[in-house]
């Protein structure tokens, strides 16, 4: 696992352990799925399961809640949304088809000051939706247009508005892609109070699907960027292999800063890293790469292990951008000024696409 040649940083003493909200299944494709909390002990160099909750199907988005609980939603087309407490007990579960015959969850959850937002797809019209839900009951209170097609991840900005990655891909209820020549990917900003469209950005290449989002930590100049991880959907393999995997919203400009990529045109996850930059994973290439605004035209590989996928910030270190990565072999901790650490999985398990640090 090579390290970046960044200047040495003063690293605050890290916490002795980290808790990570995760989703996984057993080693076989037909094994059941679980969500729960994993505990990394950096002193003993062990990884244990704090609790594991059996899920009704494959999960996708995860949100950490106070008390070590989790919000979890089903993989697209998502038919369930649930909340569990810090003991792994279900507190609330929503059956999405009972809300609407045609609408299903599309990826991720964001928690606002007075509501919970979910990305959704109306499979009858093909249009993206944002579910506005009661923060306690998770009952849907309202439904807004996502101002695009196939919304996937959404985040809340400093003004309480929604930033939405509209992937742009038309899909059937069996999750089959169709008419990729009609892709309409976009980044949209909606008013967090009423869903009004405030701004929309598009990239010149319509075959780049905007998928996952992350806010950077402030850079030395105080700038904050929105990082966008992308999937290339070009028909020709060579175009996919050479496609950029990251876009960055800098102020009001959405651009493609780095042309080198993972060789597959597929970024699976993105998190803040290294003072204003981002870490991006590619499970297809088995790498995690870091982008930094001081070297905007390149991605630098920091982890090379099979099935490098779910990413989270390393809590307990300073704000210089440590990363926790799920790989085929276990949890990898990377930091530009600390030795890399690999903690093997506590049991035979295959981690799903995303996980989240528990604060």
Reported as a single tens digit per residue, the pLDDT across 24-39 is 999 999 999 999 999 9
Collapsing DSSP to helix, strand or coil, 318 comes out as: coil
Distant-in-sequence, close-in-space partners of 271: CB < 8 Å, separation ≥ 6: 214, 278, 279, 311, 312, 313, 323
Residue 339, both tokens: 């030795």
Could you give the C-alpha distances from 337 to 18, 271, 287, in angstroms and in order?
18, 18, 19
% of the chain exceeding 70 in pLDDT: 94
Q: What is residue 1's predicted lDDT score, i.e. its pLDDT?
A: 30
The bridge status of strand 277-282 relative to strand 287-292 is: antiparallel
- Short-list 223, 245, 222, CA closest to 234: 245
Q: What is the pLDDT of residues 142-170, one digit of tens each?
A: 999 999 999 999 999 999 999 999 999 99
How far apart CA 4 and CA 294 sit, in angstroms, is 13
More confident residue, 262 or 13: 262
Residue 91: other Cβ atoms inside 10 A: 13
Q: Where are the domains of the chain?
A: 34-357
CATH 3.30.420.40 at 34-357, yes or no: no
pLDDT exceeds 90 at position 268: yes
Contact between 22 and 62 under an 8 Å Cβ cutoff? The reply is yes
Q: What is residue 314's predicted lDDT score, i.e. its pLDDT?
A: 87
| Confidence band, pLDDT 50/70/90 cuts, at residue 218 | confident
| Confidence band, pLDDT 50/70/90 cuts, at residue 171 | very high
How many contiguous H segments (helices) and E segments (strands) does the chain have? 2, 30
Q: What is residue 348's predicted lDDT score, i.e. its pLDDT?
A: 96
How far apart CA 276 and CA 248 sit, in angstroms, is 11
- Rounded to the nearest 10°, the torsion over CA 29, 31, 37, 40 is -60
Q: What is the pLDDT of residues 45-102, one digit of tens each?
A: 999 999 999 999 999 999 999 999 999 999 999 999 999 999 999 999 999 999 999 9
- Rounded to the nearest 10°, the torsion over CA 255, 259, 262, 267 is 0
How far apart CA 132 and CA 118 sit, in angstroms, is 7
User: What global pTM score does this model have?
Assistant: 0.93
pLDDT exceeds 50 at position 7: no
């Amino acid at each position: 696992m090579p390290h970046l040649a960044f200047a040495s940083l003063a690293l605050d003493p890290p916490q002795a352990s980290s808790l990570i909200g995760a989703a996984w299944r057993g080693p076989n494709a037909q094994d059941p799925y679980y969500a729960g909390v994993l505990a990394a002990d950096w002193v003993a160099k062990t990884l244990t399961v704090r609790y594991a909750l059996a899920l009704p199907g494959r999960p996708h988005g995860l949100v950490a809640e106070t008390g070590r609980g989790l919000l979890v939603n089903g993989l697209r087309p998502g038919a369930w949304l649930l909340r569990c407490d810090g003991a792994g007990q279900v507190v609330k579960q929503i059956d999405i088809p009972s809300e609407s015959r045609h609408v299903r969850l599309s990826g991720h959850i964001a928690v606002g000051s007075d509501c919970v937002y979910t990305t959704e797809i109306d499979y009858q019209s093909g249009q993206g939706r944002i579910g506005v839900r009661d923060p306690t009951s998770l009952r849907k209170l309202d439904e807004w247009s996502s101002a695009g097609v196939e919304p996937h991840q959404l985040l809340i900005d400093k003004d309480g508005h929604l930033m939405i990655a509209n992937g742009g891909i038309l899909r059937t209820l069996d999750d089959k892609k169709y008419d990729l020549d009609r892709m309409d990917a976009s980044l949209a900003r909606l008013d967090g109070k009423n869903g009004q469209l405030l701004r929309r950005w598009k990239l010149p290449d319509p075959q780049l699907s905007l998928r996952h989002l992350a806010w950077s930590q402030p850079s030395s100049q105080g700038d904050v960027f929105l990082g966008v991880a992308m999937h290339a959907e070009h028909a020709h393999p060579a175009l996919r292999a050479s496609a950029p995997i990251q876009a960055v919203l800098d102020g009001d400009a959405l651009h493609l800063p780095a042309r080198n990529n993972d060789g597959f045109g597929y970024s699976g996850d993105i998190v803040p890293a290294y003072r204003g930059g981002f870490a991006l994973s590619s499970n297809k290439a088995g790498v995690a790469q870091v982008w930094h605004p001081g070297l905007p035209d390149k991605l630098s590989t920091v982890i090379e292990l099979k099935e490098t996928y779910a990413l989270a910030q390393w809590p307990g270190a300073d704000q210089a951008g440590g990363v926790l990565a799920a790989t085929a072999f276990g949890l990898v901790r990377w930091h530009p000024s600390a030795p890399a650490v690999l903690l093997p999985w506590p049991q035979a398990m295959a981690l799903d696409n995303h996980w989240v640090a528990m604060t």
